[in-house]
Structure formats: structure tokens, C-alpha cells
């Protein structure tokens, strides 16, 4: 089964030893998902990961590394569903990013869990038919 991996998990893994100890489990889980060929990438996450890298060589190296993970196809319907989710959550006073809600829409449509360290998704799950992937001990 493929797993949608959120930007925050990738970011912890890419910090090269600078991640906090409490993030070690998430980094190990991401490594296992990569070994299992279970990682699913989406274009907006790829963009977030590559944005802000000032050093051209680091940008190129990360871009090449991330190319190992093909993007899940995103349809106009997915963006429309993400917008519906945004509006539904906003009406309940719940905040989230466009990428967060796109992940929720894709998770629902593809019956694919989301691997994230962002606690907002626990709140989203109370109102949406999404699955969250938990790091294995």
C-alpha cells in the first residue's frame, strides 16, 4: 500500500542529523517506507521541499533524489474536493493549508493513508474520511 508523505516528515529527514530526537521515529519510518517502495509523492509537496533552497548544487541534488518518487496524478476534481474540505473546516473554525486539504482529498479518493507529524490532521480526521499512517516502533 502506498502512503502519502507530508512535507514535515520529509523535512525532518532532510535535516541531516539536525532533527529533534522525537522526530527520529518518523525519520526511520520514512526510510522504511522508501525501502518498501511505499512512498507516494505529489507535486505540491515536491514544490514545498524544493522551495527556498539557496544553494544551486543542493537544489539539484535534492531534485534528482526526489525524482525517484513519481507524482500521484491530481485531477481538477481533487482540487475541487480540497476546496470543499477547506470550506467545511473553515465553517467549523478549523484552519489548514491548501496542501493539507489537498492531501486529505487525495487520501480519501485513493484510500491512501497520510504520514504526517502535523497534529492538525488528527483534528481533520474527526471530520473527514481520511486515514493516518503511524510510525511503527
**16-34 confidence digits (pLDDT tens):** 656 566 688 899 999 999 9
Tell me the whole-structure pTM to 2 decimals.
0.93
Which pLDDT does position 17 carry in this prediction?
58
120-123 contacts, C-beta under 8 A, 24 or more apart = 120/94, 120/95, 120/96, 121/6, 123/94
Q: Please say if the pLDDT value at position 121 is more than 70.
A: yes
Report the alpha-carbon distance of residue 20 to residue 16 in Å, rounded: 11
Which pLDDT does position 19 carry in this prediction?
57
Q: Please say if the pLDDT value at position 54 is more than 70.
A: yes
Report the alpha-carbon distance of residue 18 to residue 24 in Å, rounded: 10
Average pLDDT, the chain: 94
Q: Please say if the pLDDT value at position 135 is more than 80.
A: yes
**78-120 confidence digits (pLDDT tens):** 999 999 999 999 999 999 999 999 999 999 999 999 999 999 9
Amino acid at each position: 500500500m502506498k502512503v502519502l508523505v507530508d512535507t514535515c516528515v520529509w523535512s525532518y529527514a532532510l535535516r541531516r542529523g539536525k532533527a529533534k530526537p522525537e522526530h527520529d521515529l518518523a525519520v526511520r519510518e520514512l526510510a522504511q517506507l522508501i525501502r518498501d517502495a511505499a512512498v507516494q509523492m505529489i507535486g505540491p509537496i515536491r514544490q514545498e521541499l524544493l522551495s527556498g533552497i539557496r544553494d544551486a548544487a543542493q537544489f539539484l541534488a535534492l531534485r534528482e533524489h526526489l525524482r525517484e518518487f513519481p507524482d500521484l496524478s491530481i485531477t481538477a476534481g481533487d482540487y475541487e474536493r480540497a476546496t470543499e474540505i477547506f470550506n467545511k473546516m473553515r465553517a467549523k473554525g478549523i484552519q489548514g493549508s491548501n496542501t493539507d486539504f489537498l492531501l486529505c482529498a487525495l487520501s480519501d479518493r485513493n484510500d491512501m493513508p497520510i504520514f504526517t507529524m502535523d497534529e492538525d490532521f488528527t483534528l481533520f480526521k474527526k471530520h473527514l474520511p481520511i486515514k493516518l499512517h503511524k510510525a511503527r516502533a
